[in-house]
Amino acid sequence: MSQTAAGIAAGVLAREIGAGARLIRWLEESDPRGRDALALIYPHTGRAHLIGITGPPGAGKSTLTNALISEQRKRGRRVGVIAIDPSSPFSGGAVLGDRVRMQTHALDTDVFIRSMGTRGQLGGLSRATFDAILVQDAMGYDVVIVETVGVGQDELDIVSLAHSTVIVSVPGLGDEVQAIKAGLLEAGDLFVVNKADREGADALTRQLELMLHLREQTRPHAWKPPLMHTTALTGQGVAALTDALDEHLATLKASGAFTQCLIARNRHMFDSLLRDLAAQHILAAASAQPATAALIHAMQAGQIDPYSAATQLVACMSLQFP
């Protein structure tokens, strides 16, 4: 396998898992070859159905993802998975808990599972998740499932990437409403009560039904999010969930929203990358300013506050910000 950007890009388009894994690694490590290869494969993206699986820790997201892979494969679809794991505090890499739970698909050449560490990134995703989605999309996977690390109410980056966002809840967490209210409730396209055979599933269902009813009253949409019940460990309800995902995809394509999701996702990433690159250039330029060292010394001595120091440095650089 060629180690050049062009060689790896050709391997990705030829659906070689080794090439895809290498390219994702380059992109995670900010290797310049990764960016060059990504530019070559980008015209071949935009076809996969991107499914986000999110919810609080302990909801059974990994087990549900594993069951969804099996159901999608029964329907003849090639499946890519990006499993976002917590980062190791020592190596910075993924802990690989999700990969362990999906070992049943390890030998299936039509399934590509990639674990990625968050590396301190908020939002329940890894910094390179968008890039990994593009790689698996270009490799011709019909479905790309992104499983988040386990989110809170304000960690909803998956909504900016996925066509269909599945919010997974589970009875027995204590305050079930806390896990599903606010941002999570607004973001979901499909809601799942997993481990539905547990005590408390009926009460959680009633709470969700009430909150979804209130959502519909205040923010009606053409698509009404279904409330599904699954027991992922046994596979119960997974076929019905896959049917609902197919229906949501058909609705998106019929309304033109599928294309709009792609446009919005690319714009979101453009804005994010532009912000990061601009910040890097501004910080580098600021560090080179003669006034920087003096301002930092004055700040450390308590002679000036950080806000005033930053404002003065921006003025020295002839930059204008509100």
Q: How confident is the model at residue 160 (pLDDT cuts 50, 70, 90)?
A: confident
CA nearest 59: which of 157, 228, 192, 235? 192
pLDDT at 162 over 60: yes
Question: Which amino acid makes up residue 307?
Answer: Y
- What is the predicted pLDDT for the residue at 87? 47
CA nearest 253: which of 164, 151, 123? 164
Measured in degrees and rounded to the nearest 5, phi and psi for residue 132 equal -65, -35
Query: SS3 for 12?
Result: helix
DSSP state of 192: E
- What is the predicted pLDDT for the residue at 140? 97
- What is the predicted pLDDT for the residue at 187? 76
Structure tokens at 24: 């994702």
Q: Pick the residue with more confidence: 80 or 96?
A: 80
Q: How far apart are CA 80 and CA 135, in angstroms?
A: 10
Structure tokens at 106: 């390890």
Contacts of 225 (CB under 8 A, 6+ apart): 188, 189, 190, 191, 212, 215
Q: How confident is the model at residue 88 (pLDDT cuts 50, 70, 90)?
A: very low
Virtual CA dihedral for 69, 70, 71, 76, nearest 10 degrees?
90
Q: How confident is the model at residue 101 (pLDDT cuts 50, 70, 90)?
A: low
What percent of the chain has pLDDT above 90? 52
Give me the DSSP letters along 201-251: HHHHHHHHHHHHHHHHHHS--SS---EEE-BTTTTBTHHHHHHHHHHHHHH
pLDDT at 78 over 80: yes
Contacts of 235 (CB under 8 A, 6+ apart): 67, 70, 71
C-alpha distance from residue 192 to each of 113, 141, 174 (Å)? 22, 24, 17
Residues in the chain: 322
Q: How far apart are CA 51 and CA 62, in angstroms?
A: 13
pLDDT at 178 over 60: no
In the chain, where the domains are located: 1-44, 46-254
Give me the DSSP letters along 89-152: TTT-SB--HHHHHTGGGTT-TTEEEEEEE-TT-SSSS-TTHHHHHHHHHHTT-SEEEEE-S---
Flag the least confident range among 82-86, 221-225, 229-233, 235-239.
Answer: 82-86
Domain 46-254 classification at class level? alpha beta
CA nearest 82: which of 163, 151, 13, 24? 24
Q: What is the mean pLDDT of residues 87-114?
A: 66
Edge-to-edge strands of the sheet including 49-54? Answer: 111-117, 79-85, 143-147, 49-54, 164-169, 190-193, 227-229
- What is the predicted pLDDT for the residue at 36? 97
CB atoms within 10 A of CB 26: 23
- What is the predicted pLDDT for the residue at 317? 81
pLDDT at 168 over 50: yes
Q: How confident is the model at residue 90 (pLDDT cuts 50, 70, 90)?
A: very low
- What is the predicted pLDDT for the residue at 121? 47
Q: What is the mean pLDDT of residues 57-72?
A: 92
Q: Pick the residue with more confidence: 278 or 144?
A: 144
pLDDT at 110 over 80: yes
Question: Which amino acid makes up residue 95?
Answer: V
pLDDT tens-digit series, residues 278-289: 888 888 888 888
